[in-house]
Amino acid sequence: MLQTPAVSRSGDVPVENLTQFEYLALNSPLNLADGHARQELTPAQSKVIGELPDMFAEAAERPVAEIEREACDMFFTALGQRSHPSAGDRVLSCYSSSLAMEIYARSLVTGTDAIALIHPTFDNIPDILRGVGLRLVPVEEEQIHDADLTPELLASVGAVFVTTPNNPTGRVLGEERLRRLAEQCAEHDVVLTLDTSFRGFDPDAQYDHYEVLEASGCRWVVIEDTGKLWPTLELKIGWLAFSANAGLPLAKIHSDILLGVSPLILLLVRRFAADAAEGGLTDLHRFIAENRAVLRTRLADVPDTWFVDEHSRVSVDRLHVGSRLGLDVWSALRSHNLYALPCQKFHWARPSEGDHTLRIALSRSPLSIARAGQALRSVLLEDG
């Protein structure tokens, strides 16, 4: 199923996925495209970075398994996941959550040929899953939140994959829904898979998921990510956690790809997670909420535009551009050197559903958000 690549107006570079849209923005001073954290370090985080030479020495000296266990415990616990399995047992460390997902996908395809996947969601998830030969069955986000999955759907797939909080909508799977979904997956012997990369931004996503999953008896896999939270210049860990009964060759395939991650990065994660637990996370929530408020206020009186995900707390916000085309607005913004993300490709099963929305990143300096708000405002008013 080939789709015509989106072509930028000013150049003719074909853009085949969301990440390629994000590449275009990487060197721009007003990059509000990718969901990575690019704001300034907080004073407490700067202090940790100042101690990197000592941390390097510590990482070189101590047993890596010990550092890995501490980093994993600290991170999972900071985000409310007290019942998590421990590293070295049923948590595998990866360089990134996309790598964790690739390892998951390669493992899953040994036992099934189909997976139900939340729609919309960030397009590298369907692309990675399709890349190993899985057939994807779209499940609407509303469907997952509002009711049980049908027995027909559950009988037709080997796994269900939910991004929670979802990217880009910010929608969180609540505890009761997770419990029910896990029960259904247990009943049908389907692997329940969660991508919780954005969980750090929303306290509603920080109830103890592992307690619910373990109690259900279902086969489960969870991909956790430190990569969206802190401005650590792509120094991050993706974690692949799984149930004792997962029945997938995750450890074998992980070992095919890597011996281990850097103990220096594990130490960095441990230190940033400790700071998060001691108030850093609350500060981050306030920071994102303020950026969101500045952006929304700046555009509040622009006709025929609105923010779609009213209650979202994640570090991105979707703007509906009304009757305008998202790609046209994206091009106009680009000529002001401001980059956002057109949303079609999040709607991996039906891209036209994203024709009129843009995703704006909020993990940026307040000054960038203010400037972007101003540029968006003038572009939308010209165009409206």
Instruction: Name the minimum Å distance from CB 330 to ligand EGV.
Output: 15
Q: How far is residue 181's CA from residue 185's CA, in Å, rounded to a whole number?
A: 6
CB atoms within 10 A of CB 11: 10
* Site residues (CB under 6 A) for ligand EGV, limited to 118-137: 122, 124
At closest approach, how far in Å is the CB of 339 from ligand EGV? 12
Whichever of 19 and 143 has its CB closer to ligand EGV, that residue is 19
How far apart CA 74 and CA 91 sit, in angstroms, is: 13
- Pairing of the two strands 191-195 and 159-163: parallel
Does 167 bind ligand EGV (CB under 6 A)? Our answer is: yes
Nearer Cβ to ligand EGV (31/184): 31
Closest CB to ligand EGV among 19 and 365? 19
3-state secondary structure of 216: helix
Rounded to a whole number of angstroms, the minimum distance from the CB of residue 163 to ligand EGV is 10
Return the structure tokens found at 176: 């009761």
Using CB under 6 A as the binding rule, whether residue 231 contacts ligand EGV is answered as no
350 φ/ψ angles, rounded to the nearest 5 degrees? -145, 80
Q: How far is the CB of 35 from ligand EGV (least distance, A)?
A: 3
Residues 260 and 323: their CA atoms lie apart, in Å, by 49
Q: Does residue 39 touch ligand EGV according to CB under 6 A?
A: no
For ligand EGV, the closer of residues 212 and 338 by Cβ is 338
- Interface with ligand EGV (CB under 6 A), residue total 8
Binding to ligand EGV in span 55-114, by CB under 6 A? 98
Could you say which of 8, 19, 262, 374 contacts ligand EGV (CB under 6 A)? 19
Residue 317 within binding range of ligand EGV, rule CB under 6 A: no
Distance of CA 324 to the CA centre of its chain: 27
Closer residue to ligand EGV in complex, CB, 22/224: 22
Distances (CA, A) of 274 to 42, 67, 172, 235, 280: 14, 14, 24, 16, 8
Q: What are the backbone angles phi and psi of residue 152, rounded to the nearest 5°?
A: -65, -45
Angle at 224 between CA 220 and CA 228, to 5 degrees: 155
Nearer to ligand EGV, 67 or 237 (CB): 237
Binding footprint of ligand EGV on the chain (CB under 6 A): 19, 22, 34-35, 98, 122, 124, 167
